[in-house]
Amino acid sequence: MGLKLFLLRNWRRLTGRTPYPLHEDLDGLKSNWDKMGRHDPCYAICTQPGKENRQWDREEFFGTGRKEIGEALAYTASLVPDLKKRRALDFGCGLGRLSQALGAHFARVDGVDISDEMLRQARDLGAPHKHLHFVKIGSTRLPFEPQTFDFVYSRLVLQHMKTDLALPYVREFVRVLAPGGLALFQAPSRNLVLERSSISCPHEFAGHAAFMEMHGHPRGQVEAAVAEAGGRVLAVRADDSAGPAWESFVYAVTR
């Protein structure tokens, strides 16, 4: 067992504290993601080994988004064959990796994020695509009217915030979803290795220290949040995108 893994597994037992502080609110998350966005944004979004220190090729990076959205929409078609393609929401858009991919399928795409730095770069990178719009969010209320979107998508985002922040967004996904639309989002449920459901892990971003916190959101609580908002879970499938230490699911939700 490596030293880092040993410390992560045993830190609370040894010290009574989490190994790095966990952010209690959106302001703390924003500050951390602004830092990652300044120093190594592609790696912060897709933490593949060997891609740290700005080793991502831009075309390869955005190509992963096209592949992901292609697979997501193929799955969506199996659940909602007649899904309208008017407007899509990319929640936690970062640099617009998925927003640009969604733009090949929808008449308008809105990407939202808490990080000013990520949004600044997303706007620059997406400038040629006039139907892409990038909006900052500063609360757990999305800045859109009810029933606005035919498709809501989020992956590798809810896992970085505590459950009391993540579940309001799940309710918001349902609120802004048009009738007959689909919200497809991923969230870990629990850590399979550690006793706790929230951890923070150090990363080096171009030589600057930052950390990536991970949180599990119990499946029952996620499904209850959907029901409370007036949504209906069409399907839940296992997902490995949070890594082998996490039980994770993709939720398909309609209203």
Range of the structural domain that residue 79 is part of: 24-254
The distance from CA 33 to its chain's CA centroid, rounded to whole angstroms, is 12
Q: Identify whether 17 is part of a domain.
A: no
pLDDT along the chain (255 residues), means of 10: 44 46 74 88 89 90 97 98 98 98 98 97 94 96 98 96 95 98 97 75 57 88 98 97 92 97
Report which DSSP code applies to 188.
Answer: E
Number of domains in the chain: 1
pLDDT of residue 93: 98
- Residue 93: which residues within 8 A CB-CB, separation 6 or more? 99, 111, 112, 113, 118, 119, 122, 134
* Per-residue DSSP letter, 23: P
Residue 202 neighbours by CB distance under 10 Å: 13
11 found inside a domain: no
Contact 192, 214 (CB under 8 A): no
Q: Is 0.85 surpassed by the pTM of this model?
A: yes
Q: Are 188 and 247 in contact (CB under 8 A)?
A: yes
What's the CA gap between 209 and 186, in Å, rounded?
A: 27
Distance of CA 63 to the CA centre of its chain: 18
CATH of the domain at 166: 3.40.50.150
